[in-house]
Amino acid sequence: MRLINIIIAASFLAAVPTASALENADSLVTAASELPPTVNAEAADTATFTPMPLPTSFFLTAVFNNYRLFNPVDSAALFSPEKPRLPKSAQWLEKTARQEEFLSRIKQNYLISHARDVKYVASLMKRPPKKFSGKADPSDRKVSVAVDKVDLSQLNAETEATIRRRNWLREFNGALQFSQAYISPNWYQGGNNNLNAIINIFYNVCLNQNFHPDLIFDTTVKYDLAINNAPTDSIHDINISEDLFQFNTKFGVKAFKKRWFYTITADFKTPLLKNFKPNQHDVTAALFSPGELNVGVGMTYKHLNTKKTFNVNASIAPFSYNLKVCRSHDINPADFGIEAPHRAANQFGSSGELKLKWSMAKNVIYSSRLFLFTNYKYVQGDWENTLEFSINRYLSTRLFAHLRYDTSVPPLEGSKWKRWQFKEILSFGLSYKFSTKPKK
């Protein structure tokens, strides 16, 4: 058996004159020794061979170009083949095919056994660029396109690249969505014409944890505005169904666990525009009326799955401060849980927040935020859910649902909602996004 391996190696070395090639040939001899031959004694004593020139590709950079399922190796068949099937004048073709197959076995066995030395895979490599030139022929009104030859010696293999460290990651999402209905005066079911417009603006900036794994700094600014015409309102031309500005920020330092951080969180929200009751001059909301600020100290747990499609961020703050204000004198502060005659309420307690973002599909994203606060006398909670369908880069459909519970507000008499409050908006329209965060 050892004799056969030496004969195979000798056939390679017969065509290799350089020292570097000899080193590669030694590796190929080792690879050949790993093949399971089935040679008998008679074949080992009478075997004859013709030196096979080794392809120059054996001494280039290791590239895995294909994978073939070979039959078990029979080294004797290389030197004592079966009865030729072709005429004698064409038997050289069978011999060449056998040699090519044997060399492919050696190369494949070597590349698989030394996978760490294989730097490239042919199926994953990009095709080399081509240079095209066109020539117009006015006589027959045709343009011929030819591929120009590229002088490889003139190409500069060294490419200078400036890689800048990105410490901050940013994301922006803006949407203008609307719905419209026109109903003729003689429509058999009746109804009113209406036009609804919704504006959503989202901006987030966070610290890149690839470079700062022990720190968290995440800030989000959101503004949602939904307006519609009010044909049944004799006083106001438009009605505001959603007007909310939010600012959330979080700073943290890694704690004793892998995904746990000591954090300080701050949340602030307020409407920006005045809103009125239908057919009345009574104001229901205005700037800083209400305004809510919550600051908490506690811990945060972060988890992102390996595919980066499911992100969970949970925070708990045993020490939390909550501030409610009502700056407008046209609004009753009691509507927001503030005792008269005060215009602000300071509360101490505990809070918790759970954020979830799930890329359900390439163009479907579900995000949710649950926030709870209690001063051990009352409970306030907000649960916001958004399901967004991206049709393309500039069109999207959005379903938003907001559930709120507040025990400091008097219950609504004669309604099943009591202290529960709910808002749902379905919209379709234009959207634009950009992000410096890695793609999922």
Residue 46: pLDDT over 70 = no
* Predicted TM-score (pTM) of this structure: 0.62
Identify the pLDDT of residue 157: 57
The predicted model gives 387-395 an average pLDDT of: 91
**Per DSSP, what are the bridge partners of residue 406?**
380
Identify the pLDDT of residue 138: 76
Identify the pLDDT of residue 51: 58
More confident residue, 133 or 45: 133
Which amino acid is it at 295?
V
Share of the chain above pLDDT 90, in %: 38
Residue 386: pLDDT over 70 = yes
Identify the pLDDT of residue 6: 39
Q: Rounded to 5 degrees, what are φ and ψ at 211?
A: -100, -20
The average confidence (pLDDT) of the chain is 80
**pLDDT (tens digit per residue) in 304-350:** 998 889 999 999 999 999 999 999 999 999 888 888 889 999 999 99
At 424, list the tokens.
């749902």
Question: Going from the N-terminus, what domains does the chain have, and what CATH number goes with each?
Answer: 2-124 (no CATH), 168-435 (2.40.230)
